[in-house]
Each structure stands twice: as structure tokens, then as C-alpha cells.
Amino acid sequence: MGFMFGKTKAKNKKEGAVGEILAVNFLKKNKYKILQTNYKNVVGEIDIVAQKKKLLVFVEVKRRMTLEYGRPVEAVNLRKQNKIKKVAELFLIENDLRYADCRFDVIEILDEEVFHIENAF
């Protein structure tokens, strides 16, 4: 774990929770059914598991207040993507959904503006 300059871990967690609420509201407004938020298993966590028609959508939410450290979506690097895929795989097994059609999206929130990147990885 690296050093945190200017922000506390608690403040980051609070901003993340606000981001997830904005993302859930955005998805609901766009006809997604929210199946689960903050799904956790032994591998890790997925912010939102949603469904649109017969498609399961695993959503990573990233929020930043400024572009000082780049766009929020840039934080979802290859390592993070691979971890999310492993968490999703276990979710599918646990819920007997091995053959479900799936997609991995990122919702990035810059301040209060929501951008939905479908099929992000």
C-alpha cells in the first residue's frame, strides 16, 4: 500500500460510496436491474452486479473530483481487470450462472458527471 497524500482512507471510502450511489441511480434510470452492490468473495469485490434484459453486467465504479491524477477509468488497469474477472467467475459459479452472457463495464464519475463505458474490458 502506498502513501496517501492529501486524503484520508475514510474520505476516499466516503467518496467511493457516493460514487456507487450515483452509479446505481444512473443504471436504474437506464433500465438496469441492480442485483447486488459490493459483492464480495474470497477473491475480491465487485462494486455493482446488474442485469439488462438477459445480460449480466459487472460494473466497476471509479470516482474522482478532478483530472489531476488522470481520468477515473484509467485506475482500472489490467491487474484490476483480471481480479474483477476472477471475482465475477466465482459469482457465476456460486449462483449457478456459468453460461450467462456477461459484460464488464466501468462507470467513471468526474465530480458529479457520470460516464458509462460499456464493454470496458
Q: What is the pLDDT along the chain (121 residues), one digit of tens a residue?
A: 454 555 555 655 666 688 999 999 999 999 999 999 999 999 999 999 999 999 999 999 999 999 999 999 999 999 999 999 999 999 999 999 989 999 999 999 999 899 999 999 9
The answer to whether 68 touches 91, Cβ cutoff 8 Å, is no
* Fold of the CATH domain 9-117: Trna Endonuclease; Chain: A, domain 1 (3.40.1350)
Q: pLDDT value at position 15?
A: 60
Reduced to 3 states (helix: H, G, I; strand: E, B; else coil), residue 39 is strand
Its pTM surpasses 0.85: yes
Q: pLDDT value at position 3?
A: 47
The number of residues in the chain equals: 121
- Edge-to-edge strands, sheet with 101-110: 33-40, 45-52, 55-64, 101-110, 113-117
